[in-house]
Chains A and B, each alone.
Chain A
């Protein structure tokens, strides 16, 4: 490489760097500005409800069995017509996910017979302590639809004798 070529390359390098000033920054102002997530991105878990406000989760713990990271802990409780959380006999009294153990594989979603647990790209689990990263049922459960009472509900006897409601149709796209 002759002197001329060395100098040319240095000048070209300087020009290239200077040209970058006109480019839009590739970085973004993170908390205010966020990049759109992929529609298939698995964010954090949400426990869903039916349209009448009852919880979909029936405390069967199939998700906990399917979980390869052993991140889910479920304790079931008995439903009564005076204090009804979900259709059928049982509901999840305790539902905890350790977000530090979770590998976001989505197997819990696949295992769920009632489509109660769904991974949605809405928010990300963040926290300052290990304890705060264990998400409880209150944190995971979505709020009921507008003008619909939350659980527990007082329900007429004999109305909810099946663990899976025939209505509304399960939205398979979620």
Chain B
């Protein structure tokens, strides 16, 4: 029973932190994006605009929640939940800090597999939302989402395989341990740069963020799969997207940036959470920076890039990694 209680408490805290993080991530994105475009950004609601997420949330709660005629009701209402929930439960296996106090289920031996599976479920939400909306833009957005995510999931999975090979374990706690906490060169981003690059690119494609935001390409598809969603249903999609951003950043930090590792974590375990947060925030800022820089890709090039470049390179990377490990090259045992 105490185990169950502990897990519940941790989950509640985690969800609270994630939702707060989501709210302030939207503000951070708007602020940073504004600065990168020589604008000021939101600064009216509260000091420095810090109450902007609250204002946005309140606005969305009081918005009329329209259900268009002709929608497939059960699926239409299920879709936002299907997007938001997987984004949150990914965190169950991510070690947020050193020691069991900061970990929920990170020692399970199929952690990496669980992540790929859960991330794959999220695309169902997008595709079903597009299908159930009874709207051509939504349907096209959903269609694009499924094609895009299937193409890029392959590269992402293969880049995770390389990481799993390096750590010889699919448990995220072991993956962090394998990056030799305390030595920055042990991070997999230095020992697996190709996998890190592929993971970064495919993760952004999985998120359907710029430059891979064809799913909701405003100029062509209005809001894509979200076209017919309003009020809190829209907010759930939004939440799913941003929590997934945090989740993917946390995964990148865990797989390639040494997770919670850093100096003095043995003396003060709380520092490990700080290090992890810093790494996650750095990844998030990089994502926002990318959005401000790169234009949207053309659809056929997006598919071509996924199938003809990322997937073969990821396969080659797995093969080379396997050979290096089999040969016992220093750094690859």
Contact = CB atoms under 8 A, between A and B. Distances in A.
Interface of A: 10, 13-14, 16-18, 20-21, 23-27, 29
- Interface secondary structure of B, over-half rule: helix
A36 to B, nearest CB: 19
13 contacts: A13-B293, A14-B290, A18-B36, A18-B289, A20-B36, A20-B37, A21-B35, A24-B38, A25-B34, A25-B35, A26-B38, A26-B39, A27-B40
Interface string B125-169: 000000000000000000000000000000000000000000000
B293 A17 contact: yes
Contacts of A14: 289-290, 293
Interface string B248-292: 000000000000000000000000000000000000000001101
B326 interface: no
B40 A29 contact: yes
A17 B36 contact: yes
A58 to B, nearest CB: 47
A13 B38 contact: no
Interface in B1-54: 34-40
Nearest to A25: B40
Interface string B63-98: 000000000000000000000000000000000000
A27 B38 CA distance: 8
B293 A20 contact: no
B289 A17 contact: yes
Contacts of A18: 36, 289
Contacts of B292: 17
Nearest to A21: B35
Contacts of B290: 14
B327 interface: no
Contacts of B38: 20, 23-27
B28 to A, nearest CB: 14
A21 B39 contact: no
A25 B39 CA distance: 5
B294 interface: yes
Nearest to A16: B293
Nearest to B44: A29
Contacts of A16: 293
Interface residues of B, number: 12
Nearest to B40: A25
Nearest to A13: B293
Contacts of B35: 20-21, 25
A14 B36 CA distance: 10
A-B CB proximity, top 6 nearest:
A17-B293, A25-B40, A26-B38, A27-B39, A23-B38, A13-B293
A29 B34 CA distance: 14
Contacts of A13: 293-294
A21 B289 CA distance: 11
Interface string B287-304: 001101110000000000
A25 B292 CA distance: 15
Contacts of A29: 40
Contacts of A23: 38
Contacts of A20: 35-38
A25 B289 CA distance: 17
Given A20-B35, A26-B38, A27-B39, 4 more contacts: A10-B293, A14-B293, A21-B35, A27-B38
Contacts of A26: 38-39
Contacts of A25: 34-35, 38-40
B235 to A, nearest CB: 27
Nearest to B37: A20
A120 B38 CA distance: 32
Nearest to B35: A21
A133 to B, nearest CB: 26
Nearest to B43: A29
Contacts of B34: 25
A10 B294 contact: yes
A25 to B, nearest CB: 5
B134 to A, nearest CB: 37
A21 B285 CA distance: 13
A117 to B, nearest CB: 38
A29 B36 CA distance: 17
Nearest to B295: A13
A82 B106 CA distance: 95
A18 B289 CA distance: 8
Contacts of B293: 10, 13-14, 16-17
A13 B210 CA distance: 14
A10 to B, nearest CB: 7
A115 to B, nearest CB: 42
Contacts of B294: 10, 13
